[in-house]
Chains A and B, each alone.
Chain A
C-alpha cells in the first residue's frame, strides 16, 4: 500500500503550502500570546521550543507538498507555458503553480519564524 497516492487530481492541492503557512503563522502568534497571558512556571523556553518545532514541521510539510508538485510537473522535464487546452497541460500547469507557491510559502514561514532569534521573553 502506498502512503502517498501516485496521483492526486484535485485543484485543492494547489493551496496546501499557503494553508500551512497561514496555520503556522496563526499557531506561532496564538501560542506566544496565550503563553505570555497565562504566565506558566516553565518560562519562555517552551514558546521558543514550540515555535521551532512548529516551524520545522511546517517546512517539512511544505517540502513534501513541493516534492509532490514537482512530481506532478514531471520533475521539470516540461517547460512552461503549459497553455494547451488539454488534460496533460492542465495537470502540468497545476504542478508548476503549486511548486512556485511552495517556494513562496517556504520563504514566508522562515520570515514568520525570524523574530524568534531576537525575542528573549514576554514583555513584563
Chain B
C-alpha cells in the first residue's frame, strides 16, 4: 500500500515538474480531452478500485475475529468505570465468571475475545503492544479479539477522555504461557487463603464490603473494584501506585488526593492502626 502510494505521489509530482519545466506547446484539443478523461478520471478510478479492494482484502488480518475452532473459548469481559476497569473471565465451559479488576491476564498464542462495556461514560480500551484501541460505550458491547505472541507485561491506558482522573486510569496486561495462565485462573476461581489478620474484621466492620467484593467473605459489594486477590496485583488504584503497604494505607485514607473524582470516600477518620491492619490484610490476599 505504501509502495503504491509512493509510486502515485512520484508520478503526480513528476507530471507537475514536467508541466512547469517544459516549454508550452499547444496540443490538439481531442488529445487533451482524451488525456483528461483517461488520466484524470478512468485510470485514477481503476487504481483506487484496485487499491481499495486490496485494503479491504487485508482488513480481516488487521482486526481479526476468532473463527470457530480457533478461539480457546475464553472471553474476558472488561467494563470501563470512572476510573478503573472491572474484569470478568468467562470460562469456555460457561462456568461462573471469575471477577477481578485493573489487571488482565491472557495466555500467549491463543486468541482471546474481549467484550468491552461501560456503565457511565465512553472509555476506550487499548493495549498498544497487542492491537488497536476500541471504545467502550454505555449500552453497547464492543468486541475485540487479541492475540499475544510474546509473554510479558504490557501497559494499557484509557484512550478516551472520561473525566477528572482519566489520565490515572490504566491497567496492566500480563501475557503468560497457557499452562501458567490456566493455573493462575484456577487459583483465582477460589477465595484467597490470605492470612487470618485482624484487618479482615476491621474491613468488614467499617462497611468496606458494601462497595468492594472479597471472595470468601461477606464483602459482596459491586460498586468498587473487586479486591479478592489484590495482593497479587502489581498496582493499586488502576495503575496509580505500587501494591505496597504504604500506598494501600494512603489510598484508604485519602483516595481523593490520589485519584481525584473517585467514588470512594476518605477513610482518614479511622485510627491509623486500623488502616494499617486493613492494608496488610488486603496486601496478603494473594
Residues of A within 8 A of B (CB): 79, 103, 107, 110-111, 114-115, 117-118, 123-124
Residues of A within 8 A of B56 (CB): 114-115, 117-118
Q: Which of B42-69 contact A (CB under 8 A)?
A: 45, 48-49, 52-53, 56-57, 59-60, 65-66
Q: Number of residues in B with C-beta < 8 Å to the partner? A: 15
B41 touches A (CB below 8 Å):
yes
Complex CA distance for A55 and B153, rounded to whole angstroms: 48
Once A117-B56, A118-B59, A118-B60 are accepted as A-B contacts, the answer to whether A111 and B49 lie under 8 Å apart by CB is yes
Q: Which residue of chain A is the closest to B71 with respect to CB atoms? A: A124
B143 touches A (CB below 8 Å):
yes
Complex CA distance for A117 and B49, rounded to whole angstroms: 13
Residues of B within 8 A of A (CB): 29, 41, 45, 48-49, 52-53, 56-57, 59-60, 65-66, 113, 143
- Supply 20 A–B pairs (Cβ within 8 Å), ascending by A: A79-B29, A107-B45, A107-B49, A110-B49, A111-B48, A111-B49, A111-B52, A114-B49, A114-B52, A114-B53, A114-B56, A115-B56, A118-B56, A118-B57, A123-B65, A123-B143, A124-B65, A124-B66, A124-B113, A124-B143
Q: Which residue of chain B is the closest to A103 with respect to CB atoms? A: B41
Complex CA distance for A111 and B44, rounded to whole angstroms: 13
- Per DSSP, chain A at the interface is helix
Residues of B within 8 A of A114 (CB): 49, 52-53, 56
Residues of B within 8 A of A118 (CB): 56-57, 59-60
Once A107-B45, A123-B65, A124-B65 are accepted as A-B contacts, the answer to whether A117 and B143 lie under 8 Å apart by CB is no
Residues of A within 8 A of B48 (CB): 111
Residues of B within 8 A of A117 (CB): 53, 56
Q: Which residue of chain B is the closest to A80 with respect to CB atoms? A: B33
Complex CA distance for A115 and B48, rounded to whole angstroms: 14
B22 CB, min distance to chain A CBs, angstroms: 26
Beyond known contacts A79-B29, A110-B49, A111-B48: 8 more, CB 8 A cutoff: A107-B45, A114-B52, A114-B53, A117-B53, A118-B57, A118-B59, A123-B65, A124-B65
Complex CA distance for A38 and B82, rounded to whole angstroms: 31
Q: Which residue of chain A is the closest to B63 with respect to CB atoms? A: A123
Complex CA distance for A79 and B48, rounded to whole angstroms: 28
Residues of A within 8 A of B52 (CB): 111, 114
Complex CA distance for A116 and B113, rounded to whole angstroms: 24
